[in-house]
Amino acid sequence: MGIELVWPAVADSSLRTSVHAVLHDVVAAGGAIGWQVPPSRAETDAWLDVVMARVASGDGALVVAVVDGVVRGTATWLRNPSAVFTHSAEVGRVTAHPSARGLGLGRRLVSAIISHARSAGLEMLTLGVRGNNHGAIELYESLGFREWGRLPNAIAVGDVRFDDVRMALPLGFPEGVVLHGSAPGGNGSSPSRTRQPA
């Protein structure tokens, strides 16, 4: 079985048809990738238009997994547009078609996204995952992502609620960058409101 990772620069009709089939069938099988019901072709085309515009501007990437000549998986990174966060990007739409489960596509796709984002000069990748998706969480953890926050019962699927688990992976910082983090006293800091015992 041949598996190839491809980084499309344009979304032709063939890619649109293939990506739609993957996203539609993943959601139909219960996949948590942002749609409550399987998306229409118009919805997946609209999403692909946004992604490809970001690819063209250097602010994103799309990688697809091709199994024996057929697109069977997807993953993206999209740069955060906010001025103070442009060094970071969000990983999204990591998918494997139900017929291609067990081939390790998720690991291949996310590993490729990490390498590509690092080579693009990004310093941080973030992602969100549904709290009950333990397999995905374990995969991301095995690739170095760590949970930095969890919003309980924030994801609504009909009458069911799930935690929104937020994860991050530092990719490295340029020489000379000062990592001030949460240390007190830097620009924009304010005094602690915690009262000291008398």
> Residue range 44-51: average pLDDT?
98
> Residue range 3-21: average pLDDT?
97
Q: Is residue 30 part of a domain?
A: yes
> Residue range 49-59: average pLDDT?
97
40-54, 123-137, 140-154, 168-182: least confident range: 168-182
> Residue range 147-169: average pLDDT?
95
Q: What is the largest CA-CA distance in the chain?
A: 72
Given a contact cutoff of 8 angstroms between Cβ atoms, the answer to whether 157 and 114 are in contact is no
pLDDT for 195 equals 65
Range of the domain at 90: 3-123
Q: Is residue 180 part of a domain?
A: no
- Count: domains in the chain: 1
For residue 20, what pLDDT band results from cuts at 50, 70 and 90?
very high
Q: Is residue 76 part of a domain?
A: yes
Q: Is residue 17 part of a domain?
A: yes
Tokens found for residue 176: 């000379």
Q: Is residue 66 part of a domain?
A: yes
pLDDT for 178 equals 87
Neighbours of 50 (CB within 10 A): 12
Q: Is residue 185 part of a domain?
A: no
Q: What percent of the chain has pLDDT over 70?
A: 98
Q: How far apart are CA 47 and CA 80, in angstroms?
A: 16
The closest of 3, 145, 138 to 63, measured between CA atoms, is 3
User: How distant, in Å, are the alpha carbons of 135, 179, 187 from that of 192?
Assistant: 40, 20, 14
The closest of 165, 171, 84 to 129, measured between CA atoms, is 165
The pLDDT tens digits of the residues spanning 60-118 come to 999 999 999 999 999 999 999 999 999 999 999 999 999 999 999 999 999 999 999 99
Q: Is residue 132 part of a domain?
A: no
For residue 58, pLDDT beyond 70: yes
Q: Can you give the CATH number for the domain in which 59 is found?
A: 3.40.630.30
Q: Is residue 138 part of a domain?
A: no
